[in-house]
């Protein structure tokens, strides 16, 4: 595999360990944050909190700010994989839903 040396040895392959990839991810995150701020300003939304977090396990990284800010809503996308792929690959959105549902 071409990319096998770029990932950490942690249980989650979603966290890159290569400086080039890490830098590009941070640049993309900054662009997204700026776009979100722009949209919120256009819509006159004042009570918006933007929190950029990092970590190896997406499920925990997503749940932490929701709990921290006692958020009443979380919008999270899904790839739309079928049931079999979700069972085999796992689903971050499904796991986040189950975690947050259990907490409240």
Q: What domain range is 10 assigned to? A: 1-56
How many domains, the chain? Answer: 2
pLDDT at 16: 56
Is the pTM here over 0.75, yes or no? Answer: no
Residues 36 and 73 in one domain: no
Q: How far is CA 22 from CA 3, 7, 12, 83, in A?
A: 14, 11, 15, 32
pLDDT at 88: 67
Residues 28 and 42 in one domain: yes
Residues 14 and 31 in one domain: yes
Residues 41 and 74 in one domain: no
Q: Kindly report, residue by residue over 23-64, the tens digit of the pLDDT.
A: 888 888 889 888 988 888 898 887 777 777 777 788 888 888
CA-to-CA distance for 35 and 57, rounded, in angstroms? Answer: 25
């Amino acid at each position: 595999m071409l990319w096998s040396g770029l990932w950490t040895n942690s249980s989650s392959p979603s966290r890159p360990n290569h400086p080039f990839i890490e830098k590009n991810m941070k640049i993309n995150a900054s662009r997204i944050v700026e776009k979100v701020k722009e949209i919120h300003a256009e819509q006159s939304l004042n009570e918006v909190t933007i929190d950029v977090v990092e970590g190896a396990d997406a499920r925990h990284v997503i749940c932490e700010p929701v709990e921290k800010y006692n958020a009443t809503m979380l919008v999270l996308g899904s790839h739309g994989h079928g049931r079999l792929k979700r069972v085999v690959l796992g689903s971050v959105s499904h796991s986040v839903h189950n975690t947050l549902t259990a907490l409240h």
